[in-house]
Structure 1
Amino acid sequence: MDTIGNLFSFITGPVSWIIVQFHKLYGAVFGPDTGWAWGLSIVSLVIVIRICLIPLFVKQIKSMRNMQALQPKMKAIQERYKNDRQRQSEEMMKLYKETGTNPLSSCLPILLQSPFFFALYHVLSKIASGDTIGSLNQQLVDSAREAHIFGAPIAAKFMDDPGKVEALNASIVDVRIVTAIMIVLMSASQFFTQRQLMQKNVDLTVKTPYMQQQKMLMYIFPIIFAVMGINFPVGVLVYWLTTNVWTMGQQMYVINQNPTPGSKAQDHYLQRLLKSITQHGEVRGRRRRAVILAIVAKGPDRNDNERRFISSLAKAGYTAQADGTVEKVDPAVAEAEAAAARRQQPKRQTKAKRQTAPVQQGSTKHSLEKKADPGQSDQPSQQGKAGSGSTRQAKSGQRKGQQRPKHPSSKK
């Protein structure tokens, strides 16, 4: 890990300078040698980095949505050119260019954050060994070595030997308890962040391999972080736990305010929007008007959530306008217009109906051909007339065809 840290040594200077500036601020409040001063300095470093990465986070969300929407087309290209890898790659790149999708956009926040992560690791390693680095002079290094977070030095690791921990004026038991709790919290926050994305912000009507991959990552990433966490100093665990919590909160805000079409989050958002319209009698906010404008513009291409929203709006006595506003009308008229729009919508068949449709059409066609051929239709009746006289004709009120034999004990 030291080798990786040296590769990102070019950024250790800015990272150490930011930590020192925040340490001056928090040291004046909590004391320069306290764990609160150094711990909050690391937390503030995370906040600064994540604020700078907000535009990339928005691109990441858009890229993930585009990738999910393109999965059916990508699968069709793979099946069509499965024997021609070069043509398959060309068609994929053409699809990305036409839709403006960049597959690497979903990885940009992590890739751009990694230099800061390894630089912080390198800084804390130098602090543990008592060496100066960047803006941290010997006095600040000694102060950081003495700083403890809940009894654990910020430069100590779960796998450190007792002698090294004692040199930092701490107990190995305290270090392992604190690091174990932080590793569990770090892995749990990673799991719930991915779970929140999969359960609330995914279009459940589109089943693609991309969703299965994301579901696997939901379980794999926490395990990876737990295994790697035992080799991270306490300060790095503070950094990674803070960035996970930030990501979870940032993602929750985006999901609530800008959900993926067709997802559960969109259904909840439209229910809140409907409640606001019925309470105030108008659409409040430019962004909400833009949402209604987009739904109206879709017309027959609306998903189930959007159709339910338009129908509920009509029941409440409102109709959505093309400019994103709503107009108060007679509920009966609005409901009639919504019913007419629903009749224009093609009914969505289930998978079983789609599979049995060709079979039913074939059987119907076969039966029509049999009825159209008089020679074939008369043949069974002629055979029936030529049958033996032992066959009894069905009496009035009895079921025609072969009768079920009576039980031997019953009376004849």
Structure 2
Amino acid sequence: MDFLNTILWPFKWLVSAILWVFHEAFTAIGMDPANGWTWTLAVIGLVIVIRALLIPVFFYQIKAQRGMQAMQPDILKLQAKYKGKTDQVSRQRMAEEQMALYKEHGTNPFAACLPLLIQMPFFFALFNVLSSVSKSRDAGEGIQMLTADQVRQFDESKIFDAFLSSALLHPQEGDNHLSVIILSILMIAAMIITQFVTQKQIMSKNMTEEALNSPFMRQQQMLLYVLPVVFGIGGINFPIALLIYWTVTNLWTLGQQWYVIRRMPTPGSQAAKDLAARRAAKGLPEKVLLGTPKSRTEAADADVLAPKPVRNQPVRRNRRKK
């Protein structure tokens, strides 16, 4: 446990610092420092800061996902090539050729999970902070950047008559249990629905037919139903403030993804066809999309930008200067 706390210490410090900044800002404009909505807005501010910092990672994820989709035909050929070969040499060669394909397409199998993996330390850090609020309050101590008074205010803050530090299975003393149950169930449902809709949006709008029929997509379809169940089961142990954090994070992802699918869809997907139709209706030229194959973009650009050949005029050898 001490090892885990050591790893999470810088993330706990950053989380507490961001909460402190937003809490001080909302208090400065006249909000009650002990009010639950002041701390709720501070948690939402924490989401905005973290997700804004992750925007470059999000675009890297999009590029990697499109690379994964583009390489599916090559993966199928590779699997057919080594079908039935179970010896060590064949498996090693298949792995080497598969890694070469990842390198060629500029992607890797873990890129799609990168934003989630980066967010998890902050999620656990916030969970750790919330879990230690009551204990720190009883001891009269602060938590990282949060002072002892702020810890006390956080522990006493409520929304809809439910403590922010309460969980469905772990209500606080003096809490309204019915309010905790109703609010927790609503927040868990919102978390599950936003998670599901986000994944469904990608599959229904932003994938080519080829990618939809690939083995990679069958794995993604499984995750479409598994992940919401996992988060739903875990949510019964999450404090209400943590449920707010994760639901707002999902809403940010949903909105950000909707914008990207509408403005920069995967080439060949239904969203790309819709974008082309909208631009054609406005009389605009076809837009070059992020992830368009080289044959359609770089080759065309090379033809336009390549210098024209210069014809050298023949010179008579017997011509003399007068």
Does the alignment reach a TM-score above 0.5?
Answer: yes
Cα distance in 2, alignment partners of residues 16 and 295 from structure 1: 45
What is the 5 A alignment of 1:132-171? 132-160=142-170, 165-166=172-173, 169-171=174-176
Aligned-partner residue type, residue 133 of structure 2: I
1:13 aligns with 2:19: no
Paired residues of 1:12 and 1:120 also in contact (CA < 8 A) = yes
State the Cα distance separating 1:31 from its structure 2 match: 1.1
Paired residues of 1:4 and 1:118 also in contact (CA < 8 A) = no
Aligned to 2:57: 56
Query: Could you say what secondary structure the match of 1:133 adopts?
Result: coil
1:214 aligns with 2:220: yes
Aligned-partner residue type, residue 38 of structure 1: W
Over residues 347-373 of structure 1, what are the superposed CA-to-partner deviations in whole Å (9 max), with x where a residue is unaligned? xxxxxxxxxxxxxxxxxxxxxxxxxxx
1:251 aligns with 2:257: yes
Aligned to 1:268: 274
State the Cα distance separating 1:13 from its structure 2 match: 1.1
Question: Are residues 170 and 3 of structure 1, via their aligned partners in 2, closer, same or farther at CA, if it must alter by over 3 Å?
Answer: farther
Cα distance in 2, alignment partners of residues 26 and 196 from structure 1: 35
Aligned to 2:192: 187
Paired residues of 1:145 and 1:153 also in contact (CA < 8 A) = yes
Query: Could you say what secondary structure the match of 2:130 adopts?
Result: helix
TM-score in terms of structure 2 length:
0.83
Aligned to 2:81: 80
**Could you tell which deviates more after superposition, 53-62 or 199-208?**
199-208
Aligned-partner residue type, residue 190 of structure 1: Q
State the Cα distance separating 1:154 from its structure 2 match: 1.1
Paired residues of 1:179 and 1:234 also in contact (CA < 8 A) = yes
1:124 aligns with 2:130: yes
Aligned to 2:97: 91
Aligned-partner residue type, residue 9 of structure 1: W
Pick from 215, 227, 236 the counterpart of residue 230 of structure 1: 236
Aligned-partner residue type, residue 25 of structure 2: L
**Could you tell which deviates more after superposition, 225-234 or 148-157?**
148-157
Cα distance in 1, alignment partners of residues 294 and 53 from structure 2: 35
Aligned to 2:318: none
Cα distance in 2, alignment partners of residues 134 and 92 from structure 1: 46
Aligned-partner residue type, residue 221 of structure 1: L
What is the 5 A alignment of 1:13-412? 13-28=13-28, 29-81=30-82, 82-83=85-86, 84-129=90-135, 130=137, 131-160=141-170, 165-166=172-173, 169-206=174-211, 207-277=213-283, 283=285, 290=288, 298=296
> Larger relative CO (CA 8 A, sep 6+): 1 or 2?
2
Paired residues of 2:64 and 2:106 also in contact (CA < 8 A) = no
Q: Which runs of 5+ in 1 are unaligned?
A: 300-321, 324-412
Paired residues of 2:130 and 2:239 also in contact (CA < 8 A) = yes
Question: Are residues 297 and 68 of structure 1, via their aligned partners in 2, closer, same or farther at CA, if it must alter by over 3 Å?
Answer: closer
Aligned-partner residue type, residue 66 of structure 2: R
Cα distance in 2, alignment partners of residues 216 and 152 from structure 1: 35
Cα distance in 2, alignment partners of residues 80 and 148 from structure 1: 61
Paired residues of 1:183 and 1:226 also in contact (CA < 8 A) = yes
State the Cα distance separating 1:61 from its structure 2 match: 1.1
State the Cα distance separating 1:53 from its structure 2 match: 0.4
Aligned to 1:334: none
Q: Which runs of 5+ in 2 are unaligned?
A: 298-302, 305-322
Aligned to 1:302: none
Aligned to 1:355: none
Query: Could you say what secondary structure the match of 2:209 adopts?
Result: coil
Aligned-partner residue type, residue 19 of structure 1: L
Paired residues of 1:205 and 1:262 also in contact (CA < 8 A) = no
Aligned-partner residue type, residue 127 of structure 2: Y
Paired residues of 1:5 and 1:121 also in contact (CA < 8 A) = no
Question: Are residues 69 and 114 of structure 1, via their aligned partners in 2, closer, same or farther at CA, if it must alter by over 3 Å?
Answer: same
**Could you tell which deviates more after superposition, 2-11 or 245-254?**
2-11
Aligned to 2:300: none
Question: Are residues 155 and 243 of structure 1, via their aligned partners in 2, closer, same or farther at CA, if it must alter by over 3 Å?
Answer: same
Aligned to 2:311: none
Paired residues of 1:27 and 1:33 also in contact (CA < 8 A) = no
Aligned to 1:378: none
Question: Are residues 245 and 2 of structure 1, via their aligned partners in 2, closer, same or farther at CA, if it must alter by over 3 Å?
Answer: farther
Question: Are residues 4 and 198 of structure 1, via their aligned partners in 2, closer, same or farther at CA, if it must alter by over 3 Å?
Answer: farther
Percent identity at matched positions? 41
Over residues 303-358 of structure 1, what are the superposed CA-to-partner deviations in whole Å (9 max), with x where a residue is unaligned? xxxxxxxxxxxxxxxxxxx97xxxxxxxxxxxxxxxxxxxxxxxxxxxxxxxxxxx
Cα distance in 2, alignment partners of residues 295 and 210 from structure 1: 20
TM-score in terms of structure 1 length:
0.65
Question: Are residues 238 and 151 of structure 1, via their aligned partners in 2, closer, same or farther at CA, if it must alter by over 3 Å?
Answer: same
Question: Are residues 200 and 289 of structure 1, via their aligned partners in 2, closer, same or farther at CA, if it must alter by over 3 Å?
Answer: closer
Question: Are residues 221 and 295 of structure 1, via their aligned partners in 2, closer, same or farther at CA, if it must alter by over 3 Å?
Answer: closer
Over residues 284-316 of structure 1, what are the superposed CA-to-partner deviations in whole Å (9 max), with x where a residue is unaligned? xxxx6545xx799739xxxxxxxxxxxxxxxxx
